[in-house]
Structure 1
Amino acid sequence: MTDEKNDKGFESSPDYVQSLARGLAVLRTFDRDMPRMSLAAVAARSGLSRAAARRLVLTLEHLGYVRADGRDYTLTPRVLELGYGFLGSLKLGDLAQPLMEELSHRVDESCSMTVLDGQSIVYVARVPVRKVMTVSLGVGAQLPAYCSSMGRALLAGLDDAQLNNWLKACKPVRRTEYTITDRSQLRRAIDEVRTQGFAYVEQELERGLCSIAVPVRNREGRVAAALNIGMRFDAEARTRAIDVLAPALRETAVAIEQRTPPDWLPAVTGTQ
């Protein structure tokens, strides 16, 4: 029996959705060699007319899977939604998970990895030790970037123009009495991350919670993800985070960077 999905004759049947096939073809044109492209390049690589490529790219941009970067377009972390089932079976653990588990067990705290998607961070790996937040977190969960340690570590990887645009679009909400909502103060906090190499956030996202994060860089040396340890707040939390946890996080981040292939994660770029 012929596999209908692989039978070219299926493309002539009424069950074949050409617009879906074309949209997926556009997504597949982006790869390690061409992570960003103009509409003309998308049309050429997908075999579509420029008009068709333009409609599909703009639709994908509206849906959040593609973002404009000047006259070019790049994929967003939201495309991970299309592969969460596969990521679950792959466990992303083939790369980062064992190292994160070792770190989590060594410090007896939860460890997470995220990427930046617009104004949010998206969890791509997590090793929970105990529940320290009121919300449940797992792969695919999102949190606001402005008041999270991983968000600030990722934002520190943007260039000045990208960060300025991100801050203009940011609408901070005071989640606790400690949350930074002033954009100027937030910019200073991100600049501090750039200087010290880590982000420490204390009770800004949720009362009783603090966390510390470091960037994870791709083979080009650009920030691609963030790695963090979350813990309950107490009087000694800051000292322990900076003196003990930050060095351990850096060590694990370097180990992850050394294990990952060149095309593992794209660099953080301008956001929607």
Structure 2
Amino acid sequence: MAELPVVERSDAEPKPGDAFVQSLARGLAVVRAFDAEHQEMTLSEVAARTALTRATARRFLHTLVELGYVRTDGRTFSLTPLVLQLGYAYLSGQRLPELAQPILEELSHRHGESTSLAILDGTDIVYLARIHTRRIISVGISPGTRFPAHATSMGRVLLAALTPAELAAYFARAELAPLTPRTLTSREAIEAEVGRVREAGYAVVDQELEVGLRSLAVPVLGADGRTVAAINMALPARIDGDGRNAGRDAEVARLVPELQAAAASIAEAARAVGAA
């Protein structure tokens, strides 16, 4: 069996102290160990993913089973829909997805392509809203879905808004794994691309998250002018006979202004209700 990656406890790991409850941190690490690539795991796999002993992982898993957050067939474990309640309180308290939804829907229907809203959380982006049209990515995306920031257009827009110190901290934590043969995986290449995004005001990612997928993204700015989120449009990537990205320049010229207008409308709506 291939060695499983270890799930870090958190992006800014707290130092144990009087206010730090280690058992809670470990229990949350067990929940976070499950993802799209690890929907079902054995006890040994959970222990490996969380860097816990088998005995400790067993206690947390069976506690989660008793509480209804995890199910088991006696050999493997998987999450139940009850875990959605853990994130619902956060998502339901966010005004930005509610404000962005009709604007993203209008943009999506006008062009016949999927649109999304996301924020940066640690080294990942987290989707807050998603308007589906045709299915051009194999993994289902919905609010709460996470992807590595380095391989996504919205992630690059959000990374471009970080200060040099924040960006350095990101690279210290991020696992720059290749998701396709085209994914940028070196810090130097990603930093250079983030710099271009910062200068241009938009990001284009071609087949780095998934083969056949191209994505354009722009920032959503808060009242103070800082980036609070990003929106994108997902498109099928077309490659010509010479291996070049066919139609990319035309798509950028046509769609980036539309995305920027939508982002400005979202920002204006958020400012009007004091949400950004």
Q: After the TM superposition, which segments of 4 or more aligned residues of structure 1 sit over 3 Å from their partners?
A: 56-64, 80-83, 85-94
Q: CA deviation at 1:219?
A: 1.0
Distance 1:249 1:209, change over 3 A: same
1:94–1:56 distance in 2 versus 1, CA, 3 Å? same
Aligned counterpart, 1:234: 238
Kept in 2, the 8 Å contact 1:199–1:212? The answer is yes
Tell me: CA distance 1:199–1:81, structure 2 relative to 1, closer, same or farther (3 Å): farther
2:158 corresponds, among 150, 154, 160, to 154
Q: Hey, what does 1:55 align to over in structure 2? A: 20
CA displacement, residues 189-208 of structure 1 (integer Å, 9 cap, x when unaligned): 00110000001000111110
3-state SS of paired residue (1:178) = coil
1:137 to 141, 147, 154: 141
1:103-132 CA distance string (max 9 Å, x none): 111111000000111111100001111111
Matched, 1:249 2:259: yes
**Pair 1:221–1:90, CA change in 2 (3 A):** closer
- Aligned residue for 2:156, secondary structure, equals helix
Give the structure 2 partner of residue 167 of structure 1. 171
Corresponding residue of 1:264 = 275
Q: Which residue of the other structure, out of 124, 128, 150, is the alignment partner of 1:124?
A: 128
Residue pairs, 1:73-222, within 5 angstroms:
82-84=86-88, 87=91, 94-222=98-226
| Deviation (angstroms), 1:58 | 11
Hey, what's the Cα distance between the residues in 2 that align with 1:161 and 1:87? 28
The one-letter code sitting in structure 2 at the alignment partner of 1:264 is A
Count of residues in Structure 1 that have an aligned counterpart in Structure 2: 200
Secondary structure in 1 aligned to 2:125?
Answer: strand
CA 1:190–1:86: 2 relative to 1, 3 Å? closer
Amino acid at match of 2:149: A
Normalising by structure 1, we get a TM-score of 0.66
> Are the aligned partners of 2:101 and 2:129 in contact in 1 as well (CA < 8 Å)?
yes
How does the TM-score come out when normalised to structure 2?
0.65
CA distance in structure 2 between the partners assigned to 1:205 and 1:109 by the alignment? 17
Distance 1:62 1:118 in 2: 19
How far apart, CA to CA, are the structure 2 residues paired with 1:246 and 1:62? 43
After superposition, give the CA deviation of every residue in 1:22-67 in whole Å (9 maximum; x if it has no partner).
xxxxxxxxxxxxxxxxxxxxxxxxxxxxx76x33699679959xxx
Counterpart secondary structure, 1:122: strand
Larger RCO (CA within 8 A; separation ≥ 6): 1
Are the structure 2 counterparts of residues 81 and 166 from structure 1 closer, same or farther at C-alpha, using a change threshold of 3 Å?
A: farther
Q: Please list, as runs of the form range in 1=range in 2, the aligned pairs for 1:36-55 lying within 5 A after superposition.
A: 54-55=19-20
The answer as to whether partners of 1:115 and 1:224 remain within 8 angstroms in 2 is: yes
Superposed displacement of residue 169, structure 1: 1.7
Structure-1 separation of matches of 2:86 and 2:207: 33
Paired with 1:81 and 1:161, the residues of 2 have a C-alpha distance of 34
Question: Could you tell me how far 1:240 is from its partner in structure 2?
Answer: 3.3
Post-superposition offset of 1:220: 1.0
Q: Distance in 2 between matches of 1:63 and 1:194?
A: 35
Distance in structure 2 (CA, Å) of the matches to 1:161 and 1:114: 22
1:102 alignment partner AA: E
**Cα distance between partner residues in 1 of 2:88 and 2:28:** 17
Structure 1 residues 83 and 177 mapped into 2: Cα distance closer, same or farther (>3 Å)? Answer: closer
The percent of aligned pairs where both chains have the same amino acid is 37
Q: Measure how far apart 1:188 and its partner are.
A: 0.4
Q: In the alignment, is the contact (CA less than 8 A) between 2:97 and 2:128 conserved in 1?
A: no
Question: Closer, same or farther in 2 for the Cα pair 1:174/1:134, shift >3 Å?
Answer: same
